[in-house]
Amino acid sequence: MKNIILSIALLIAAGTTALHAGENKFNLSEVKKNISKRISVPENLKKTNFKGYVLVSFQVDANGRIEVLATNSENADLACHVEQQLEKMLVKGKLEPGKVYNLRLDFTVI
């Protein structure tokens, strides 16, 4: 069986998409763990030596629901899969509502 490794790197951008310096890192770490447990490589891409990434900009509403603002990836199927999975997630109380966050999600099948 193929092993799937999902590593997530949080990218911090300048300007209005930047995280506040005083942001609670426990909350960000918890959100990253939550996301890594729930998103895997889609079945149609589970082939040996698959590598891909998706850059995601999102914000959270007052109910904790993720709204994906933009995705960018070389693989449209992977980007669509990530967007669908993120929009099913709730992160209530973990991130500031209305603030824009950026993630880079890296996927590797070995």
CATH of the domain at 27: 3.30.2420
Structural domains in the chain (count): 1
pLDDT of the residue at 10? 31
The Cα–Cα gap between 93 and 95 comes to 6
- The mean pLDDT value of the chain amounts to 76
Tell me the residue range of the domain where 95 lies. Answer: 4-109
Q: What is the pTM of this model?
A: 0.72
Residue 17 has pLDDT above 60, yes or no: no
**pLDDT in the model for residue 7:** 35
DSSP string, 6-34: EEEEE---SGGGSPPTT--HHHHHHHHHH
Q: Give per-residue pLDDT as tens, 42-81.
A: 888 888 789 999 999 999 999 989 999 999 999 999 999 9
Output the pLDDT for position 92.
74
Helix boundaries (H) for the chain: 25-38, 76-86
